Amino acid sequence: MSSHSAKLVFAGPVGAGKTTAIRTLSDSAPVSTEMPMSEGPMGDKTTTTVALDFSSVQLDDGTPLHLYGLPGQEHFSHMRPLVMEGAVGVLVILPGDSPRIAEECEHWVRSVREINADMGLVVGITRTDISPGFRMGEVRHAVRRSGQPIPIFTFDARSREQTSHLIRALLLSLV
């Protein structure tokens, strides 16, 4: 890793855990643009990211790591190439309790690759503790359908240890 800085982007659908992961990792208070959900609350989730999340953390060697969370909604898809500009890798976060997880996986991995085919990519699946129906095999198949193989992990975005582990896996996949 260079001594300058690195940029990582967190992508994925609404409710996956992008904002939570960035908050969990943050050294300083993250900048966030949370607003009440226009369509009303989704379960216990009453706000959603309308523009983006941003935070900066330091790697062990002192390298600043800039973290950006993309808005999940499709009507903000025009922001993805802008936010991904200059990023070294993308973490696609998917909610394990989504009945559409395979479809969402294929969609997000393809969207990222359409913007940058060489982008480092890792899939992280949250909320598996509350998803009795979660099947890793479905996500593996979806990843295969969307092209090159990429690592898939489960993690809890509320856990700093688990989220840091995933970031390390993404950074290691780039070298």
Ligand X SMILES: Nc1nc2c(ncn2[C@@H]2O[C@H](COP(=O)(O)OP(=O)(O)O)[C@@H](O)[C@H]2O)c(=O)[nH]1
Contacts with ligand X, 126-145, as mask; x by CB under 6 A: xx-xx---------------
Question: How many Cβ atoms are within 10 Å of 7's Cβ, its own excluded?
Answer: 17
Residue appearing with tokens 């949250």: 126
Distance CA 42, CA 86 (A): 33
Residues 48-107 interacting with Mg ion (rule: CB under 5 A)? 49
Q: What is the number of other CB atoms lying within 10 angstroms of the CB of residue 25?
A: 21
Min dist CB 46 to Mg ion, Å, is 12
- Whose Cβ is closer to ligand X: residue 5's or residue 128's? 128
User: Taking CB under 6 A as the rule, does residue 20 contact ligand X?
Assistant: yes
State the binding partner of 30 from ligand X, Mg ion, none, CB within 5 to 8 A by kind: none
Half-sphere exposure of 130 (CA within 13 A, CB side): 7
What b/e readout covers 45-84, taking b as 16+ CB neighbours within 10 angstroms?
eeebbebbbbbbbeeeeeeebbbbbbbbbeeeeeebeebb
Residue 14 interacts with which of Mg ion, ligand X, none, CB < 5 to 8 Å by class: ligand X
- The conformation of residue 29, written as its DSSP 8-state character, comes to P
Candidate segments 9-17, 59-67, 84-92, 138-146, binder of ligand X by CB under 6 A: 9-17
CA 33 to CA 169: how far, in whole Å?
28
Select the residue interacting with ligand X from 11, 15, 57, 67 (CB under 6 A). Answer: 15
According to the binding rule CB under 6 A, does residue 45 interact with ligand X?
yes
The neighbouring-strand residues paired with 42 are 45
User: Nearer Cβ to ligand X, position 14 or 59?
Assistant: 14
Q: Which residues bind ligand X (CB under 6 A)?
A: 12, 14-20, 45, 48-49, 72, 126-127, 129-130, 156-158
Q: Which residues bind Mg ion (CB under 5 A)?
A: 18-19, 49
